[in-house]
Amino acid sequence: MTDKLDSYFVHSLAKGVKVLSAFDYNKKELSVLEISKITGIHRTTVHRSIFTLEREGFVEKNESTGKYRLGLKLFELGNMVAANMDIRHRARVHIEKLAETCGIAVHLVVMDGWEAIYIDKVEPPRGMIRYSRVGKRVPLYCTAVGKILLGGLPDEEIIKALSKIEFNKLTPNTIDNLYELLKQVQNARALGYALDLEELELGLNCVAVPVYNYTGNVIAAISASGSASQFPAETIKGLVNSVQEAGRAISTSMGWLPEK
């Protein structure tokens, strides 16, 4: 079987791929000689590969240095890959597993403007969380997912945008000022999770964690929510590791690579 597969292997194409792989964040521009040394491919072969790749738009030449850099065709293809990374589809199996193993409702949430919007929800086998539905919008300032989503932004941007909004006191526990919100966002950023202890709705507790994309930016949040009687503060905090594990799995499926 291996011999048959080897017959399909295009060596010249493989060498072209190796040439492209020679570039990285520390080697953004390379000469033919430098590529040859990095890849171990003969300079004449590298030259032919570079000529073809340049003609097809995969590399471009810096005329002032004579060196080559990756071209816009790769940027175009990379954006196509990113666009095809349907977060809802990729997250579904992980939020289903989390809901089943923890017996708690799980949500996938993104930021839209200066609100959070539920784009998916999985109920546990028993029980139902009625406050949420797919497509519902909730404030950022009084939800665990909101604090996580805000945590992906610079503090200056948060202050500029949210200094204009009205903090409606939805429960006695609702954050009602920008200073306290910023403090909790910074805390969530440091811890890697955020809590909502009856801030959005009395009788409802929630823990949320970030979902990252391939660039390391926060693109969504997942949350586990349940009744305060069934999941008091101590119990909801005990779910952090399970929710973070799901968040990491979704992030990895979106191309995220954790820092080592």
- Tokens read off for 197: 């202890």
pLDDT computed for residue 1 by the predictor: 47
Beta bridge partners of 109: 118, 221
Domain ranges of the chain: 2-79, 86-253
Q: Mean pLDDT throughout 6-17?
A: 84
Specify the DSSP class assigned to residue 163.
T
Give the pLDDT confidence of 164-173 residue by residue, as tens digits. 788 889 999 9
What are the φ/ψ torsions at residue 76 (nearest 5 degrees)?
-60, -50
Fold (topology level) of 86-253: Beta-Lactamase (3.30.450)
Give the pLDDT confidence of 79-135 residue by residue, as tens digits. 666 655 588 889 999 999 999 888 889 999 999 888 898 888 998 766 555 666 777
Specify the DSSP class assigned to residue 176.
-
Q: Which of 94, 102, 96, 137 is nearest to 237 (CA)?
A: 102
pLDDT computed for residue 124 by the predictor: 75
Q: Which of 80, 82, 85, 47 is nearest to 66 (CA)?
A: 47
Give the pLDDT confidence of 139-151 residue by residue, as tens digits. 899 999 999 999 9
Residue 138 has, within 13 A of its CA and on its CB side, a CA count of: 25
- How far apart CA 45 and CA 17 sit, in angstroms, is 13
Fold: same for 2-79 and 86-253: no
Beta bridge partners of 146: none
- Within the chain, strands assigned E span 59-62, 67-70, 105-112, 115-122, 137-139, 194-197, 204-212, 218-227
- How far apart CA 208 and CA 239 sit, in angstroms, is 10
Give the pLDDT confidence of 196-215 residue by residue, as tens digits. 999 998 998 999 999 999 88
Contact status, residue 107 vs residue 132, Cβ threshold 8 Å: yes
Instruction: For 2-79, give the CATH class.
Output: mainly alpha
